[in-house]
Amino acid sequence: MPLDRDVETLRNIPLFNGLPTPRLKLIAYTAEVVRFEPGEVIVQQGDLADAVYIIMEGEAGVWVEGADGRSMQVNTMGPHTLFGEIAVLSRGRRTTTVRAQGSVVTFKIAAKVFLDLVRHSPEISMQVMTVLAERLERTTALLQKAQRG
């Protein structure tokens, strides 16, 4: 069944690691499949965040727009990457632009559903905190390194 396949995919995503199968099924079931054409913008820097995405097929580039208006690609994301959760959690705006490189199939989880999942599922809340804390630690380490060097 297609849902079972999706559940296996979700299992590979660190945020959902260790979730019981019914929870994963719930996420897969509530997620919408959205396809993007080559070059299409998936999220636009500065837009309000309305959803979290998971790349199922294809690759997407992460771009940051500088103050001078020039864009610079800072990263490439492959299948099974989850993105857009920061802006959703902070109820803020997108901090980067993500653009499809080639055809991309995503899972789109509406912000409200994602927040709901975080709020009502202690496992997900813990995972979100762990992932965010790790990221913070990494950024702090980078900053310290930059300061020293």
| Positions in the binding site for other proteins (CB under 8 A) | 1-3, 6, 22, 25-26, 28-30, 32-37, 40, 42, 48, 91-93, 111-113, 116, 120
Parallel, antiparallel or unpaired: strands 97-110 and 32-36: antiparallel
User: 50 φ, ψ to 5°?
Assistant: -120, -5
For other proteins, give the closer residue by CB, 90 or 134.
90
The C-alpha atoms of residue 25 and residue 10 are separated, in whole angstroms, by: 9
**Which two tokens mark 123?**
């496992």
CB of 3 to other proteins, least distance (A): 5
The C-alpha atoms of residue 132 and residue 122 are separated, in whole angstroms, by: 15
For other proteins, give the closer residue by CB, 22 or 69.
22
For other proteins, give the closer residue by CB, 105 or 131.
105
CB of 111 to other proteins, least distance (A): 8
Q: How many CA atoms lie within 13 A of 20 on its CB side?
A: 5
CB of 110 to other proteins, least distance (A): 9
CB of 109 to other proteins, least distance (A): 11
For other proteins, give the closer residue by CB, 14 or 92.
92
The C-alpha atoms of residue 117 and residue 93 are separated, in whole angstroms, by: 20
CB of 32 to other proteins, least distance (A): 7
For other proteins, give the closer residue by CB, 29 or 126.
29
User: Read out DSSP for 90-136?
Assistant: TT-B-SSEEEEEEEEEEEEEEHHHHHHHHHH-HHHHHHHHHHHHHHH
